[in-house]
């Protein structure tokens, strides 16, 4: 049921962990004075959509059903609240992994909303506005979001290719920027999936020398096409040894179990390996792989709202979008089977 404070949107939802996605009408709140209502044009399919919906992360992050996934959203503004100043009807805009935070804690006041202890994820978080018990994501016809969490999409970017920038783009841009990747830096990108291919494109635009590390020789041609200068098949011990101690920075995008100690041996003195993949099992780490070169391992979690806008503007300036295959919503279950 709805009242004047809500309306119904069309969505695709999972009713249980292994149920296929199917149509569902969901309540969305009518725009409040600070809200932007968006007609969704495209939503990327992220592996985390599948993991959450299949309840792979329970009990740490248990799924609440029905689940409407999707946090790589691009659409057009269809209505704005009376106090909205950043966006207007007709604007091409985007929404990423978060749609709200308390906006008052020290972390939020420092502009680091993605680490707010009370943040609201785009789907699967308690809905503080009360339209539904939990937030519903971008596999839907429309969404209503506080203007602070709505981003501008550069007009020159293909909207479909821009959608994955809201997760894969910012997840790779943030650590590249933090580690001052640029001319004169040798950068490794481990894995060439959704995250990895964006890491290659962005690192190339930053002006770095890029080497892709992959277990799949068949991906070499794609890596070079995307902007890598060289490809190492990481199962080739001789090739790995030839690059030992030569990398300034390595971005590891792999979500499967793998040996990071061999990768650490590629770093220069005081080089850094940043993890953005999330394997289900803990990775084994040799202290000596760190100690012998003052090396470090760190993690990175998307980016704050200001940096996400910075990333979109950077992509606009350099003509960067994700490589995508566009499907109709009715084929989403087939796409999920292929992804899994």
Residues of the chain with pLDDT under 50: 1
Tokens of residue 111, six digits: 């502009």
pLDDT attached to residue 121: 96
Q: What is the pTM of this model?
A: 0.95
Tokens of residue 117, six digits: 């202890």
pLDDT attached to residue 1: 40
Q: Does domain 6-166+303-339 have CATH number 3.30.470.30?
A: no
Q: In this structure, how many other beta carbons lie within 10 angstroms of the beta carbon of residue 27?
A: 18
pLDDT attached to residue 4: 65
CATH fold of 168-299: Rossmann fold (3.40.50)
User: CA separation (Å) from 144 to 8, 74, 127?
Assistant: 12, 13, 12
Q: What are 151-180's pLDDT values in tens digits?
A: 999 999 999 999 999 999 999 999 999 999
Angle 194-206/168-178 helices, nearest 10 degrees? 40
User: CA separation (Å) from 37 to 29, 91, 93, 198?
Assistant: 9, 11, 10, 29
pLDDT attached to residue 232: 97
d(CA 315, CA 234): 29
The DSSP bridge partners found for residue 121 are 98
Q: Sketch the domain layout of the chain as residue ranges.
A: 6-166+303-339, 168-299
* Planar angle of CA 212, 216, 222, nearest 5 degrees: 55
Q: Would strands 267-275 and 247-252 be described as parallel, antiparallel, or unpaired?
A: parallel
Q: What are 57-66's pLDDT values in tens digits?
A: 888 889 999 9
């Amino acid at each position: 049921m709805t009242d004047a404070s809500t309306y119904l949107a069309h969505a695709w939802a999972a009713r249980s962990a292994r149920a296929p996605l199917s149509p569902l009408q969901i309540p969305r709140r009518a725009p409040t004075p600070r809200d932007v209502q968006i007609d969704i044009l495209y939503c990327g399919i992220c592996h985390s959509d599948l993991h959450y919906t299949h309840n792979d992360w329970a009990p740490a992050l248990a799924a609440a059903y029905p689940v409407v996934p999707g946090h790589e959203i691009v659409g057009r503004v269809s209505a704005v609240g009376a106090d909205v100043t950043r966006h207007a009807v007709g604007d091409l805009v985007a929404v990423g992994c978060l749609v709200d935070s308390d906006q008052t804690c020290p972390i939020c006041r420092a502009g680091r909303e993605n680490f707010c202890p009370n943040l609201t994820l785009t789907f699967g978080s308690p809905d503080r506005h009360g339209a539904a018990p939990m937030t519903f994501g971008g596999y839907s016809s429309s969404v209503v979001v506080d203007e602070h969490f709505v981003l501008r999409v550069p007009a020159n970017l293909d909207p479909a290719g821009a959608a994955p920038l809201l997760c894969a783009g910012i997840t790779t841009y943030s650590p590249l920027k933090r580690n001052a990747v640029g001319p004169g830096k040798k950068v490794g990108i481990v894995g060439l999936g959704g995250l990895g291919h964006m890491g290659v494109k962005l690192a190339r635009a930053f002006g770095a020398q890029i080497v892709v590390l992959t277990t799949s020789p068949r991906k070499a041609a794609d890596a070079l096409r995307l902007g890598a200068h060289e490809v190492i098949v990481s199962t080739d011990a001789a090739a790995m040894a030839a690059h030992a101690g030569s990398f300034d920075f390595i971005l590891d995008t792999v979500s499967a179990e793998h040996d990071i100690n061999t990768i650490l041996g590629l770093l220069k003195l005081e080089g850094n390996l940043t993890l953005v993949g999330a394997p289900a099992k803990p990775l084994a780490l040799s202290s000596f792989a760190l100690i012998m070169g003052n090396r470090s391992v760190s993690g990175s979690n998307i980016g704050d709202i200001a940096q996400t806008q910075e990333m979109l503007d950077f992509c606009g300036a350099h003509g960067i979008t994700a490589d995508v295959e566009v499907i109709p919503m009715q084929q989403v279950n087939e796409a999920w089977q292929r992804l899994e």
